[in-house]
Amino acid sequence: MWNDRTKLLIGQSGLEKLEKSNVAVVGIGGVGGYVCEMLVRAGVGSLTIVDFDKIDETNINRQLVANTETVGLLKTEVMEKMLKKINPQCKITVKNVQLSKENVGTILDTEEYDFVVDAIDNVTNKIDLICFCKENGIKIVSAMGAGNRFGIPNFKVMDIYKTSNDGLARVLRKKLREREVSSLDVVISEEVAEKIDKKSMSVGSISYYPAMCGCVLSAYVIQNLIN
């Protein structure tokens, strides 16, 4: 079978746990796209993918869904087709919507999730997702910054209140304290971000950095689902 080699590592019981698991990935860009693929290749049985955006030409350098033939298409639709080609038996639920404070309950209340992966790059929406999960006892792990970094990736999983060298984490720490969130597991690189031309409104990126962040996120989720 296609997952025989995974079975050698985690056994039949591990495969069954993953098959029965239900995970939501919010944001399927450079980081989230790799999370989706790694989860499905590992054997997660149900996956909800949430994103509102269309594929842009500038996504091609780092996003799984982006190539010269998919520019202009919805990220969720392209990702769903890719995942179904990996494991047709995986239940994929597509929610082509931008998560916000007003709709987060509608998006996540329809099913019982074993884990939520936060791969959103918008601070406000990120906070809304994190707080909803914390308030409702839903396990969540969040991606920190993967942009403006170029070296050999060295991502770690730690509590957000122990992080450093990450502007996104710094902003989130302040806002989460205000919302009385006492802890949050995050995937973070402690590499200092490169200084980018201040005239540019964009974040610099390279192919492997978001991918590595996504792989560490998926590894963390899979370990938790099995154990």
Q: What would the two tokens of residue 124 be?
A: 């406000």
Report the percentage of the chain scoring pLDDT > 90: 88
Please report the beta strands in the chain, taking only residues with DSSP state E, as ranges in sequence order. 22-26, 46-50, 91-95, 115-118, 140-143, 155-159, 185-189
Lowest mean pLDDT among 111-115, 163-167, 195-199, 212-216: 195-199
C-alpha–C-alpha distance, residues 187 and 214, integer Å: 9
For the domain made up of 17-226, the CATH class stated in words is: alpha beta
Adjacent-strand bridge partners of 23: 47, 115
Contacts with 189 (C-beta within 8 Å, 6 or more apart), sequence order:
144, 145, 146, 149, 153, 154, 155, 156, 166, 209, 213
Predicted TM-score of the model (pTM): 0.95
Q: What is the mean pLDDT of the chain?
A: 95
Statement: residue 201 has pLDDT above 80: no
Contacts with 43 (C-beta within 8 Å, 6 or more apart), sequence order:
3, 6, 15, 18, 19, 87
Residue 197 DSSP label: P
Helices (H), 63-207: 75-86, 104-108, 123-135, 167-178
Positive/negative CA dihedral, 10, 31, 94, 78: negative
Statement: residue 198 has pLDDT above 80: no
All structural domains of the chain with their residue ranges: 17-226
Amino acid letter, residue 194: E
C-alpha–C-alpha distance, residues 99 and 136, integer Å: 16
What is the distance, to the nearest Å, from the Cα of residue 227 to the centroid of all Cα atoms in its chain?
20
Would you say how long the chain is, in residues?
227
In the numeric block, the tokens 């890719």 are attached to 82
Q: Could you read off the pLDDT of 136-185 as tens digits, one per residue? A: 999 999 999 888 888 999 999 999 999 988 989 999 999 999 999 999 99
